Structure 1
């Protein structure tokens, strides 16, 4: 298949492209940098680029996270995705695979499944991030076939959670608390593998994360030990209701996907 990979020069894009090629697909890259740069906010440029590429599938792995500006990333998810989806539909593309996140669910007691509603009533800064997710997923649902990859918190080379990554600077500054909040994590290579597998998945959202949701009281100190930065003190108190982690049961049992690193403990050992 001809696959237009939006975000081809990003952390995930650089890992997805060779996997697609190795599987026999033709990859056309779309990114802000590279031989043929395209600004996803330039609607006319995106329409022209997708029309010229004539892809069978559009894979959306665009982010704006290099500086840690989550508001800018939410804007890209809303506005950039809208342009990309409109261009795909205009070009007759039937399938769109798009990056989403697994921590936008409403509060609850257990790890969220794909049937758990998104946190549409979230307050404050969280509303911005959830709004970005809604922008992505509502747009890609317009395609005849679509998959929203609800990734867990990514770690591994070139991510925020890596040796020398953004979080190694924020932890000593007290901005990564070891609290009771629960996260589901995912090695970046497992995220890339899932994106390729999703070419054959039925339409719908899929939680793509490891098998072991964990409180930050456990995984933050383990991450710090793995990258040789001082761990923050444990924060007492209950978790925030939405910080519940996510279940990968659907991906594992229904779709046959399983992570190479089923636990963040095994994945952190590679850092």
Structure 2
């Protein structure tokens, strides 16, 4: 019998790819979205829709306590679909708020609900300049300026919330530092950026983290000179070629 899993950001690019994997693996999935018009799509994918705004701390807490999930997966972002440069200055600020305030509310709600595991999406291009490929032990770019500094501050707050507070409450916190996403429902059809990762491989990383992670941070990206994902391969059994094929679905269920 599977676990109860609450996916925050269930209608985003990674969430949409992740839900079929979770359902096929036998988990009972609750998909969080702030938009009621997306509830039908969540139901069609096999998840129970939960319409709630992550910035409404009390409503989120109430929903989480009612569901009582074992696992909470944080895939929330707030970015324009095409990453239009003209919209990114404002989007960076909104996205940082999701990472700071939204993550804090998710952590509190997960604690109140008695969840045992939390997995959160971070980014793999936040490292400070230095020798490459970067591993998870390398420092983040705290000396950044401008929009990058806003993003880094959001990432730092998210990772501290997930990894720090949780250790005192019986929760295990795992951070997945995704490379630049490409594939269905992302802004890139083909690999782009210094450390790309297919969105379906990113979804697999969340499922494998549920199974194998005991907390910590994992880079999740295809082989490249900038980022090492060796830890994820070794400890999670993750591989960048993983996709939502029928064969992959059967492997999840077995």
Max radius of gyration: which structure? Answer: 1
**Correspondence 1:32-181 to 2 at 5 A:** 32-33=34-35, 34-35=38-39, 36-66=50-80, 68=83, 69-141=91-163, 142-143=165-166, 144-162=171-189
Shift of 1:246: 1.2
| Unmatched segments (≥5 aa) in structure 1 | 164-175, 177-181, 214-244, 262-271
The normalised TM-score by structure 1 is: 0.75
Per-residue CA deviation, residues 156-179 of structure 1 (Å, 9 max, x unaligned), is 12111128xxxxxxxxxxxx9xxx
Q: In structure 1, what is the equivalent of residue 207 of structure 2?
A: 196
Cα offset, 1:212, TM superposition:
2.2
Tell me if 1:260 matches 2:241. Answer: yes
CA deviations over 1:184-229 (Å, ceiling 9, x no partner) = 110111001111111021210000000124xxxxxxxxxxxxxxxx
CA RMSD of aligned residues (A): 1.9
Map Cα deviations across residues 13-55 of structure 1 (whole Å, 9 max, x no partner).
1110110010010001111123342111111111111111110
**Counterpart secondary structure, 2:137:** coil
Say which is worse superposed, 250-259 or 82-91, in terms of deviation: 250-259
Q: After TM superposition, what 4+ stretches of structure 1 lie above 6 angstroms from structure 2?
A: none
Could you tell me how far apart the structure 2 residues matched to 1:54 and 1:94 are?
Answer: 10
Number of residues paired by the alignment? 215
Unaligned 5+ runs, structure 2: 40-49, 84-90, 243-254
TM-score w.r.t. structure 2 length?
0.80
Distance of 2:57 and 2:15 partners within structure 1: 21
Residue 248 of structure 1 corresponds to which residue in structure 2?
A: 229
